[in-house]
Chain A
């Protein structure tokens, strides 16, 4: 579909028609007037919101403390999930994995539940948890939409109700099933949920049109809305001499569309793949893939404050404390402490109101956690031509070995590599061997030595990791012959000054570092650089990956 706003309106309509089949919508957009317009349309059928730090109690229901204490008899309240319907998850990119998995399980278990995830992902490494991306049928990216492209929109609830009633009459033929499965496979989508969700979308669209059979436009639309963003491979476009049929133009007011007589069996697969291709403007797939990798690499980490304060913090039993102390009062623990004494205390306080809980200062319990930060070891690897390529291979091997050990100690490993004119974060902090191996395998070598650039990216990575509650350590592997300055110019003198400045910045941030001289002869510049960085320097004799890994382990005091 060419008009992106029409696509948005159709997606919302389909979700309203068959929330049980489509399970929900992954809406990627920064907050703004365009998203507000979409949200306004949603209010009609998805008025309830939940946020990523919602408590289990609010979500799943539990003891209603206030009512229980007030009346002296037990009161429970239902959770948001218990009521079913479509929920809107705000700031979905901050949804911690635990909540994501539980929502995913609820989606699997309750057919009356749907979820709209508002994903405001702004930077790499954020993103909606994979467990949810996988289950939510529809995907929309509003960031590319300008205000001028949009229009006022309200869901026609009457027509939607009629379409809902027709839903069960829509027949899904064996051909349609075969075809959607084939297209999903051709797009490199492994999950079997994807084709099922696609058929649900096609069926919802057919019901919306008032048809009882799927036609080409139902399928093409479903592929564009459900399959396109899951694609991991888009088959090449057909050669020019056989131009593909023009993509179908599903109208956004489909109730008026005359029933199409095309049978589903006549649709060439190419056409559906084209629909997927058309739904993915250049770059979007790459962006989604990057997000996918970043999310996976991030593993169990979540964004923001939770990670800072108690990411791997082991909750210790709440202990006695005063109301004025800095800690948070653990209400439940406090009540637990007080509860067994209520009968006794009541005897000594006959004036107490019925049902009143008699608290003593000694009942107060305050939460605390044992803070324990994850370590992340950031390898900063010189992949330039001056540093022998063999060394790069050794560094890769060492990283894999460190990672294999690290997963036992729950450390993270990251890799910054620099060569040519640029430095890149080649591997975001990860504990996943699978991801690391994949990223390392494709790492190239050769070119100039932008040492300062490498240090800059390393510093950024370290600060970012620290911001997420991890304790970073740098391991710089280089021969120290930097010849590219920060601005990208091939100026050896400027390159040296820039490198020293960054080394000082690293030292000032108190980031522990280790410099491994991979050169064949000792390099005085590198010695001075490590001094500026406050780093320990090791000269590395010719060694294999295992020896390097052992050296590193010893140096970091493992």
Chain B
């Protein structure tokens, strides 16, 4: 069919044009000289994770002498773009680390292989069923969660204690949290915490605490403009009172703990994911402790155990069995767990988790203890967010900027967001 060919050609040409860097378009996982199979495995992370990953991969190669694994990694944003271009060009790596927000798009774009077909080599029995389900799209297991994370209110223990405000307990509601923020601001002269209005993640926790969700099961918006107006009115009022960070501070948030008000010493607490919160250790002299996220007025928990990252294999890989073997090895092997530690979040396999639990030290242990304190109290995670969500996270921040800089009312900004979200989810 000539028409189809032209289209395919155009897509390839566009992908080539977008690649810009030749390195982005390397060869695919074909057999190399010596009869060894070559697998490409890409992931995002930092040098510490790189060192441990290389060790784990070396162990895999030792056990499978016929397989060689080429790894490459970069920071999250760069990784996301590079992977998207590779996938668009039909050149996705054999094994790739994926984020919750990428799965739907990649699965429906035909980039990923259904791992359920590799049951003989990839075992998923040791993984919590609710967590495993997060890698499922349209009934197929496109990805396997590798680590587990959850949100937390990280706080400066010394600063909080010195203020005389009672330390957070094992549970609190959003109203109790707000009162604590106000009291902290009054006692310390600086905001109690980061303005959570800009964070789609925090909004999700608040929303789930009210029995709703970001998205419905049929991938539509799960809340109304009225819900979002209520949330933004709540956070905007706290900001005006000085209980949470001012707009100038909030707008500098970029995902790194260094740029949070807590990291800069301009607030006493910050709502964040538990794994990155380890970065506060170096920034906050008095030490950091973790408290659970606030719940709904009736105690309904909003936070959930979220897969911190997934592993998936390419639909067009030449070696599906070996790729699945590598995934299985990375997720289930106790020896790997000892090497990787908690660098990718707390392991999802229960046996592995028990195995490395006693070996964890420092903040890894703080996170593990925090997570086990929540065990059994949280609700199941939602299914992977629909494709459009990737862009909506940024839109959420931008629209809240308009509120915190007092250029728009919460009602107007919420209406804008809902309009754009609906358009994004349709396309």
Q: Does A pair with B?
A: no
